[in-house]
Structure 1
Amino acid sequence: MRGDARLLLVDKHLVERLLVADDVIAAVREAFELHGRRQGRVFPVVREKLSTGGVFGIKTGDVGSQGLLGFKAAGFWPANRSVGGEAHQATVLLFDPATGRPLCVIDGNAITTARTAAAGAIGLSLLSREDSVAATVFGTGNQARAQLEFALRARPALTRVHYVSSDRLPRPEFEAGFAERIELLCAADANAAVNQSDLIITATTGAGPLFEAGALRAGTHLNCVGADTRGKRELPGGVVDAARIFADDLDQARQLGELQWLPQTPAVEIGDLLTGEVPWRRSPGDITVFDMTGLALQDLTVARLIHRKAMEQGLGTAVAWPW
């Protein structure tokens, strides 16, 4: 009954507990396939700078055949760090598409981190060389750690990883999670690290080019995460126009991602590779780029996963929400 309706609240600690890597990868893969088959809709993205110094955005969409509807409100508030808070903030809201009634409010920070890292793993599985043994990771924050964690799942042959911090100094807290599994090296010279790597992961704030184009060697694959807003970039000039480009969503990448700098560059959506719509075979010398701006459908399929698990296990906080 309308008067007995409840709204489920799922906080960050419960989200982190319910996120399982294989389940997240499967949910993100489904999102890409839905997008590739045009069975899920992605609505125009809101992404605007605020007078407070933050950036606020909304990503939303639906899958009509699955009764899936919702949005993620998220952004970046760098001043949060000065008070011990996380700069990235995100909240996901799922709705009943038949009535518009809200079903579940979910903390979106962990979802964003995990679904982006899962997308990166899918990109590596599809686009990078299976014999990749060395990587360079730009960034040492939550997303960089998650990207590397999922990269090790996608490419288990990786044995050596260079990481590039903002000041080129070691980050013991970053190294702690990987030191027993791989050779982890703090790179003082970004170009030298890139030149020794088969994979490049860029997970920074997108403040500008991170290395020189000439440092890339043939056969390298790049997962690019940080360019997700107008004006952001991580790649130097000369990379996008020389590489084979793939994106989660072409329109979005041309507005917000690395493709915003050369929007006429030919590119293919990852969903079209997964569905077989576009055949793909890597040539040994190909340089490939996955331009990752983040797809609303990724947030929704992972949020639905969390919602289902919480309901099945009787977890979360249900509050009265009569309508």
Structure 2
Amino acid sequence: MTAHPTATDHAQASLLLLDTHQVSALLQPQDVLRAVHEAFTLHSQRAGRVFPVVREALPTGGVFGIKSGDVPAQGLLGFKAAGFWPANRAQGGEPHQATVLLIDPATGRPLCMLDGNAITTERTGAAGALGLQQLARPDSARLCLFGTGVQARVQLRFALRVLPQLTSVRYLTHDGRQRPDFEAQFKDLCEVIHRTDANAAVAESDVLITATPGGGALFDAAAVRPGTHINAVGTDTRGKRELPEGLLKRVRVFVDDTAQARSLGEAQWAAPDLPCTELGDVLTGQAPVVPRGAQDITVFDMTGLALQDLTVARMLHTQALARGLGTAIAWPW
């Protein structure tokens, strides 16, 4: 017999809050990789649902979005409210802002509210790592990175975990200036070289990672050598782009979600019938990857899945409860 909540249960219900410090302390790369792998698997098996994305510009100059979804068989339901407020920089604040809320699907009451910035950063880094594992050449030794911000750094950190032959990184900045703090963070892990010629840096690299605000094409299509793999991270909104015109039609394109990529990702700039393979289908074997030919160029168009946020948030919620972390506040219903 199923036990039903009593009036006392309703009155004593609580909501667990996990702030940025608690979330960051709990996030471990291997745990995040497992949770994100599960999210891709659930999406491939259609055991998890991804609801339509909200992504809208605001009169304040910011961009506000909601990514939500559920896994009915696991009782997992929730959303991430997130966006980008560039004016925050002038106040010494982080322009990316995100909050994740886990909800009890049986009652609709909130279970756990988490600071979503670190979750977004880490789960996106883990998604990029899974793309590299499946699509990049295992002997990839030289990487070209566009950007040096929070997302660029986590992408590189995960890349160094999953590409054992990676020894050299060329990086480019939007203003052409060197970033000593970025170099210092990675100098003991790989060779770090600042470049200003984007096409030259692309041409001498095995892997490209674009992690910028998506203000326009970062290099010429002709600069991409056969055998290159590209993780395109920054294009997640209508009108954004990082990759050059004409590139996608001559490469093998992989996405996290086909409809989302065609609406918000690099695929928005391609023909509607552009063949796309979802990475989750590669991970589950539903779409076996044809062995990479010497001339093949692959692109992983990353727009981010709500299920990634939810599986990571659930992992954090479970760990926090087990360790007695977080702040519980009364939330009667």
Matches within 5 A, 1:310-321: 310-321=320-331
- State the match for 2:293 in structure 1: 283
Q: Percent identity?
A: 64
Matches within 5 A, 1:11-50: 11-50=19-58
Encode CA deviations 1:75-121: one digit per residue, 9 max, x unaligned.
Answer: 00000001110010000000011000100000000000000000000
Deviation of 1:264 (Å): 2.0
- State the match for 1:273 in structure 2: 282
- 1:63 and 2:71 matched: yes
Partner Cα separation in structure 2 for residue 272 and residue 76 of structure 1: 30
Deviation of 1:279 (Å): 1.2
Partner Cα separation in structure 2 for residue 282 and residue 5 of structure 1: 53
- State the match for 2:141 in structure 1: 133
- State the match for 2:211 in structure 1: 203
Partner Cα separation in structure 2 for residue 173 and residue 141 of structure 1: 11
Q: Which runs of 5+ in 1 are unaligned?
A: none
- 1:234 and 2:242 matched: yes
CA RMSD of aligned residues (A): 0.6
Partner Cα separation in structure 2 for residue 105 and residue 170 of structure 1: 38
Q: Identify the match of residue 109 of structure 2 among 98, 101, 119.
A: 101
Deviation of 1:18 (Å): 0.2
Q: Which runs of 5+ in 2 are unaligned?
A: 1-8
Partner Cα separation in structure 2 for residue 21 and residue 113 of structure 1: 11
- State the match for 1:247 in structure 2: 255
Q: Identify the match of residue 77 of structure 1 among 85, 90, 113.
A: 85
Q: Give the match's secondary structure for 1:176.
A: helix
- Amino acid of the structure 2 residue aligned with 1:284: A
Q: Identify the match of residue 294 of structure 1 among 304, 307, 331.
A: 304
- Amino acid of the structure 2 residue aligned with 1:299: D
Q: Identify the match of residue 94 of structure 2 among 86, 102, 105.
A: 86
Partner Cα separation in structure 2 for residue 56 and residue 17 of structure 1: 27
- State the match for 2:174 in structure 1: 166
Partner Cα separation in structure 2 for residue 309 and residue 11 of structure 1: 14
- Amino acid of the structure 1 residue aligned with 2:157: E
Partner Cα separation in structure 1 for residue 144 and residue 322 of structure 2: 40
Partner Cα separation in structure 2 for residue 173 and residue 108 of structure 1: 25
Partner Cα separation in structure 2 for residue 88 and residue 286 of structure 1: 35
Partner Cα separation in structure 2 for residue 34 and residue 181 of structure 1: 34
Q: Identify the match of residue 228 of structure 2 among 220, 224, 237.
A: 220
* Number of aligned residue pairs: 323
Q: Give the match's secondary structure for 1:111.
A: helix
Larger radius of gyration: 2
- Amino acid of the structure 2 residue aligned with 1:129: R
Q: Give the match's secondary structure for 2:186.
A: coil
- State the match for 2:132 in structure 1: 124
